[in-house]
Amino acid sequence: MDASPSTGNDVSDVLRRLAVVFAEFEGRLAQTPLIRKLTRGRFTIQDYAAFLIGLRQQVKEGAQWMSRAASNIDDEHLELRSILMRHAVTEHRDFRLLEADYVAAGGTLGEIRGAEKNIGSEALSAWMFHEASRPNPFGLLGAMWIIEGLGQIKALEWGRLVQSRLGLPDEAVRFLVYHGENDAEHIKEFETMLALVLPDPAVARRIVRTAEVTARLYALQIEEIMP
Amino acid sequence: MTALRDAYITGTSAILPGAPVGNDQIEDHIGRICGRGSLLGRRALRWNGVKTRHYALDTQGAATDSNAGMCAKAVLGALDDARLGRGDLGYLAAATTQGDYLVPGHGVTVHGELGGGPLEVASFQSVCGSSLMAAKAAWLNIRAGEHQVAAACAGEFSSRWFQPAFYEGTTLVDAKGRLAAEADYLRFTLSDGAGAIIVEPAPRADRLSLKIDFIDVVSLAGDFEPCMWAGAPIATRADAAGVWSHTGPAAAHKAGAVALLQDFELLKRVIRAWVGVYLKKVDEGRIVPAAVDWLLCHYSAQSLRDELMSLLERTAGAIPVEKWFSNLPWVGNVGSASIWIMLDEFMRSGRLARGQKVLCVVPESGRSLVGFMMLEAV
């Protein structure tokens, strides 16, 4: 295959487009009222509580849509199915950690578990399960790039800012800080997954498109967080 | 409408004041805060990789030149390099981060130092990227046929802003006399000098000229808060209505609002954003990494962390390190002037061959801006 830029079906081309989508996503996140408060030093404990409530739904559902996606992958792509299932197993209890942080920061389990999804979370959740329900939902690799990128790059940054602004103990920021710690293997593993479904121009387009939609809806979820 | 013409860089020049100053002599020129040497300086130098630099302040703290003075010398040097004189110049675009005056602008101040008859001038004030803003104005003025000879110059006299009086007696110095990292880092990173280019509608017949293919300047200021700034205290820097001029100079100084400051945490995000802009240019085909013969980047490869270098490699966006040319380690980081100082040394190095493409990249952390200039040797 021609590996020059703009062929649109090569692993590095897709990675490059995803990197651009992520960079623009970071810019959009930085403009949301909640993250502005965090970076401008006006973040309160109420903001943190609302932040954790806002994140919980997507964290909880992450392993669920990943499992559903795995169940829709055909026998020609067993390796990808295995990777997704392993991912789902690794992550499906993470929301418990987030709940524990909420309690350590002064909230109650009842509050965080009983909270309603915000408008952005509703849209994001519907989108993820819709995509995961399609046969061979390879576009979701784009969604994983966005959501895992958040975990690898943004969570630690946010976690440290939250901790220093609010003077919270380690046990109140474990979800954000813990997620940011193992970023070295991130791109390499992702490259492996892409190579399992590429080259294929239609799949390449779908991965990038799914990343764009997921990034927009994720930012909407953060925009809709109001203490 | 008449067609736009091509425009070429036909002369370059660099002005580096005084003798090179080694890492151990920095504070002999910029001074010591509360009389004590900086603890952070060593770390800053390891990170920025600068070994020697130049200052327009002598060891007594006396100025040996001005920002506009160095710029004027650079313009005359570049005119001379192009085998032209002051009388040939029609348009002057002048860039800087912090000019000599608050008012009037840098352009007229440089013209004042340059002397001579009427000129069209323009001032570009930002940080490192102001160099390419000025270059774009010079290029377009030639392209549009408005002038026959244009100069773009850029200069910095950062060291005078690093003297102890800018920090002592402010909230930037703690009870033990230690300067805040946001301020101290830049004292060991930036230095003085100026550079200039001449742009004309025809290449030189006797030697290589550089055809300007494009100049793209991209600001992401809508996404990010000030990352390197002067004029506001650290805590309230994002609020443009709360800058130094509201409280008056004495109160602003006390609040640490006058010194030049850098936010490191934000810088990490801004660097990723720069890489994002670059990769978008690659994706759009505006920049084709494989077609670039030389990369002049106002940022060292070592400062881009491994994770970003790896991202560039995996996305087919990387330009091999052998193609990078930089004189940052021995001339220092001269802000907006750096790219012209680098281009001048590159042109004199004999490395360039006809037909080769030179990509200049100028990131500016000020408020997350990045500029690209593609040149072709003709």
**For residue A187, which residues of chain B lie inside 8 Å, CB to CB?**
310-311, 314
Q: Do the Cβ atoms of B265 and A157 come within 8 Å? A: yes
CA atoms within 13 A on the CB side of B307: 14
Structure tokens at A68: 């559903």
Question: What does the DSSP assignment read for B314-369?
Answer: HTT----GGGB---HHHH-B-GGGHHHHHHHHHHHTT---TT-EEEEEEEETTTTE
In tens, the pLDDT along A111-126 reads 999 999 999 999 999 9
Sorted by sequence, the CB contacts under 8 Å of residue B303 that are 6+ apart come out as: B47, B48, B49
Is pLDDT of A8 > 60? Answer: no
Query: Is A82 touching B (CB cutoff 8 A)?
Result: no
Separation between Cα atoms, residue A127 and residue A82, nearest integer Å:
23
A28: closest CA of chain B, how far (Å): 6
Q: How confident is the model at residue A9 (pLDDT cuts 50, 70, 90)?
A: low
Q: b/e string for B141-171 if b means 16 or more Cβ within 10 A? A: bbbeeebbbbbbbbbbbbbbbbbbebbbebe
With 0-12 / 13-18 / 19 or more C-beta atoms within 10 angstroms meaning exposed / middle / buried, residue A92 is middle
Q: Do the Cβ atoms of A153 and B238 come within 8 Å? A: no
The minimal CB distance from A27 to the residues B220, B279, B283 is found for: B220
378 residues of chain B, pLDDT tens digit each: 578 999 999 999 999 999 999 999 999 999 999 999 998 999 999 888 999 999 999 999 999 999 999 999 999 999 999 999 999 999 999 999 999 999 999 999 999 999 999 999 999 999 999 999 999 999 999 999 999 999 999 999 999 999 999 999 999 999 999 999 999 999 999 999 999 999 999 999 999 999 999 999 999 999 999 999 999 998 889 888 889 999 999 999 999 999 999 998 899 889 999 999 999 999 999 999 999 999 999 876 667 667 778 888 889 999 998 999 999 999 999 999 999 999 999 999 999 999 999 999 999 999 999 999 999 999
> In this prediction, what percent of chain A has a pLDDT beyond 70?
93
Q: How confident is the model at residue A7 (pLDDT cuts 50, 70, 90)?
A: very low
pLDDT at A103: 97
Residue found by looking up tokens 């993250």 in the block: A35
Q: Do the Cβ atoms of B222 and A31 come within 8 Å? A: yes
CB B120 within 8 A of CB B147: yes
Query: Is A117 touching B (CB cutoff 8 A)?
Result: no
Nearest CA in chain A to B224: A30
The minimal CB distance from A5 to the residues B223, B273, B283 is found for: B283
What is the value of ipTM here, to two decimals?
A: 0.86
Please state whether beta strands B210-219 and B21-22 pair in parallel, antiparallel, or not at all (unpaired). Answer: unpaired
Q: Do the Cβ atoms of A30 and B224 come within 8 Å? A: yes
pTM across the whole model: 0.92
Q: How confident is the model at residue A159 (pLDDT cuts 50, 70, 90)?
A: very high
CA distances for A47 relative to A53, A69, A102, A163, angstroms? 10, 33, 12, 13
Q: Do the Cβ atoms of A23 and B277 come within 8 Å? A: yes
Nearest CA in chain A to B271: A23
Lowest-pLDDT range of A126-140, A168-182, B130-144? A168-182
Is pLDDT of A179 > 80? Answer: no
Sorted by sequence, the CB contacts under 8 Å of residue B32 that are 6+ apart come out as: B38, B164
Is pLDDT of A184 > 60? Answer: no
> CA A159 from chain center: how many Å?
15
**For residue A13, which residues of chain B lie inside 8 Å, CB to CB?**
283, 315-316
CB B372 within 8 A of CB B226: no
**For residue B314, which residues of chain A lie inside 8 Å, CB to CB?**
12, 15, 187, 191
Handedness of CA B48, B49, B51, B53 (dihedral sign): negative
Nearest CA in chain A to B282: A5
Please state whether beta strands B120-125 and B150-156 pair in parallel, antiparallel, or not at all (unpaired). Answer: unpaired
Structure tokens at B181: 């990292």
Q: What is the CA radius of gyration of chain B?
A: 20
Nearest CA in chain A to B238: A40
pLDDT at A5: 45
Is pLDDT of A1 > 70? Answer: no
**Preferred mutation among A26, A31, A183, A193 to probe B, highest tally of B CBs within 10 A:** A26
**Preferred mutation among B227, B314, B370 to probe A, highest tally of A CBs within 10 A:** B314
List the helix and strand counts (H, then E) for chain B: 12, 13
Nearest CA in chain B to A33: B223
pLDDT at B342: 98
Supply the mean pLDDT for chain A.
Answer: 91
Structure tokens at B367: 């408020």
**For residue A26, which residues of chain B lie inside 8 Å, CB to CB?**
223, 269, 272-273, 276
Sorted by sequence, the CB contacts under 8 Å of residue B321 that are 6+ apart come out as: B301
pLDDT at B273: 94
**What is the number of CB-based contacts under 8 A between chain A and chain B?**
78
For chain B, the helix, strand and coil percentages under 3-state DSSP, each to the nearest 5: 40, 20, 40
In tens, the pLDDT along A56-106 reads 999 999 999 999 999 999 999 999 999 999 989 988 898 999 999 999 999
